[in-house]
Structure 1
Amino acid sequence: MTDIKALFSSEWMPEALIPARPRLLIVDDQPVNIQVLYQIFGKDSEVFMATSGQQALEVCRQKSPDLILLDVVMPEMDGIEVCTQLKADPETHNIPVIFVTSQDSPEEETKGLEVGAVDFITKPVNPAVVRARVKTHLTLKVQADALRTLASIDGLTRIPNRRLFDDRLAGEWRACRRANTQLSIIMIDVDHFKKYNDHYGHLEGDTCLKEVANVLRDANWRGRDLAARYGGEEFVCLLPETDLDGALTKAESLRTALENLALPHAASTNASCVTISVGVATIYPKAEDGVAALLGAADEQLYKAKQGGRNRVEGCDLG
């Protein structure tokens, strides 16, 4: 995963963001061919192995490799079909695939590139050549990841934006559905923000939103959790594999953290400082159209928190 902090430093080069030990998946039905590539990359990379197409797909979803070295000719499911399925899945679409195969005809190479492979290397491999090509495609992946990351960051608050949240929500919905685990959403609204803007001015209003974002950024999140700006003075948090009690506890910690910051809000009618109202909803993901129901429930709980006096947390479990 791209180092977001490094992207905003004044001195970064895409190549420098390649992981110290890239995660490579080698797929070949012949163990001897896997061993050849392992000898080339095993010292400097974390190497996963698969001897069938189905196994390769499972490893990709579980391990999220940085790059795949994939044989074309395999029984049951060949490399072309594996690559086609990888590129059709949003969770694996961006993993670069290099075909490593004894097939060297222009037609075979064209077919491989058409289904989404980034390169085509013939066997027997030259260690220096395959090492150089893997390094090139890892660099290109880092550059592409960096651009996607920058496009997914809110320009004002420098936390993830709604576009990234929507993408991650779709992915985590599928993941929690497969694992039969709960997914929780936290919706946040800054209390009386229009009054804050009218009283202090829009520049101070922007500063206020940045402070709220800082509270979210500095919270103790787990690896797959996400906090984002949803729009205007609204923020949203995604908590995979989290039940309602866990989400409510997290929501209350965010509410308390902002209240303890004690940002003055002279125009507020419910507190002397900036506060937030919070709505929480939890669900066991099932049908794809349930995403809208989860977001709607969180929004309803947010409205309930506002109606209940603001600066509070409300939540529900959709089952």
Structure 2
Amino acid sequence: MGQQSGLSYAVIGTGAIGGFYGALLQRAGCEVHFLLRSDYEYVQQHGLVVNSVYGDFTLPEVNAYCDASAIPRCDVAIAAIKATQNHILEDILPRIVKPNGTILLLQNGIGVEPQLAKLLPDHYILSGLCFICSNKVGMGHVHHLDYGDITIGAYADRYAPAGITKEMEAIASDFNIAGVPAKLTENLQLARWRKLVWNIPFNGLSVVLDAKTDAMMANDATRQLSADLMNEVLAAAAACDCQIPTEFVPQMIDFTTKMQPYLTSMKLDYDHKRSLEIEAIYANPLRLAKERGVAMPKTEMLYQQLYFLDRLNSKSK
């Protein structure tokens, strides 16, 4: 299996994503520190429970914190919070990551890195695109239903291709040893557009239609609508010099058809009256497409519907 790199990790956002990957890293022998909010006392006393298609396991003892200042400086800070919460990172990250350390964003959408790069110019910023079906189902309890791959790329100004570095290779190796299929990309922008091919149709439609992935794939109309949205993403990506082959669309449809019935993270956020990640997943891609003269009419309509529902939801809290 190989030997862990010796890197220490801090996880910000111990939920469906951070809790899952952080727990796997700890189980594999990495030093991992978890920053929690509402789950802090429970996890401090009982640890983390992961039910997974990779195999169920429990970590009865974890390094749990409710105060970022108490976390020892780590080599890598994994930010697994929603992009809607990124304003808290300016205060948290300098406390927990070593000088010139690495920040690994596990977030959806596009355009989330530039602001962070301005706030923390001395840190190395990576992003990990997670292809995973995972939900937080209780205090310190994560249910991993399907998949789990990560594609990791480095951020450079204006998403210029940044190559593969030793830091990236070390982190990917730790994930692989932990049982997470991790691959590296020289082109983060392309990786983000490829992830949007799935996120744009299914996150939004799950909210608007109040449906899981299996129901959407079982209906001819929504199956076609999903493909239409995906093709709009391909056109926008191409205008941004990110070529995605047309066969990627039927591959993603097939991928979604075969996955376990899944309630997307955006749908769960909506049901729990949390803010939706519509800026990073919809508004930013729409803006980039418009700047390059590419229309995304169905994506724009979906964004407008989500914008309405998100504002209505926030008023009913």
Pick the TM interval, shorter chain: under 0.3
Q: Tell which has more relative contact order, 1 or 2 (C-alpha 8 A, sep 6+).
A: 2
Q: Larger Cα Rg: Structure 1 or Structure 2?
A: 1
Q: What is the TM-score when the length of structure 2 is the normalising length? A: 0.25
